Amino acid sequence: MSNSYKYIDPDFTYTDPKTGVLRNLEGITDQDVLLFVESSVVAKRIQELYENPIKIKGIESLFEIHRHLFQDIYSWAGQKRKVDISKGGKPFFPMTHFENAYRFIDALIAVYKKTPKKNKQRLARILAEILDNVNYLHPFREGNGRTQREFLRLLALEKGFTLNLNPPNNKEVYDQYMQGTIDSDVSILTQLILELIEELPEK
C-alpha cells in the first residue's frame, strides 16, 4: 500500500495543473526549489515562536500558528483546507464535519489546562490525545505536521515543559512519531511525549 498523500482536488484549487506544484506567493514552479524555500522561511518563523510564543486558547490557535509559519509562502496560510485528503488509503477527517472536531479538541485542551503540572503522566496522555485528534483532523492542505508539533510544544510550554517532537538527526523519535500518528496509537504517542518532555529550569 502506498504511504503517499492523495488529494481530491479536480478543480486544482491549490496546485498548478501543468506542474503539479502548489501555487505559492513566490511564483515557484519547481518542486525541489519550493521545498527548499518553504523549509527556510518556516524555520525562521518557528524561531520567532520560540522568542514570542503564541498563547494556546483553543483550536483557533492551531490556525494562528499555521498562518504564522506559512504566511511568506502560501496565500491560504491559516485557512482550513478545501479538499479531502487521504494517506496510504486512510482518509483524514471530512471537511463537512470540521466543527464537531473543533469542539472535541477544544474540550481536550480544556481538560489539559485544568490538569496539575505535577501529574506528568496524565498531561502526556492528554497531549497524545490532542495530537492524535489534530493529526486526524489534518485541517490544512500542507504543513499539518509542522503546525501540530508546534501546537504541542506551545501547550507543553504553558505547563512549564519543553517538548520537541522533531529533534534533529533523531530517526528513532521520528519513527515513533510517525508510527503513532499514522496508526492513531495514543499509547505510542504518550510514551514518546513522556520520554521527550522536560521541565523548564526555574528562572
Mean pLDDT across the chain: 94
Q: Are 101 and 137 in contact (CB under 8 A)?
A: yes
Rounded to 5°, angle at Cα 178 from 172 and 183 = 130
Q: Give me the domains of the chain, ranges plus CATH numbers.
A: 5-199 (1.10.3290.10)
Contacts 24+ apart (CB under 8 A), 8-12: 8/83, 8/84, 8/85, 9/83
- 175-194 pLDDT tens trace: 999 999 999 999 999 999 99
Give the C-alpha separation, 180 to 188, whole Å: 5
> Three-state SS for 123?
helix
- 105-144 pLDDT tens trace: 999 999 999 999 999 999 999 999 999 999 999 999 999 9
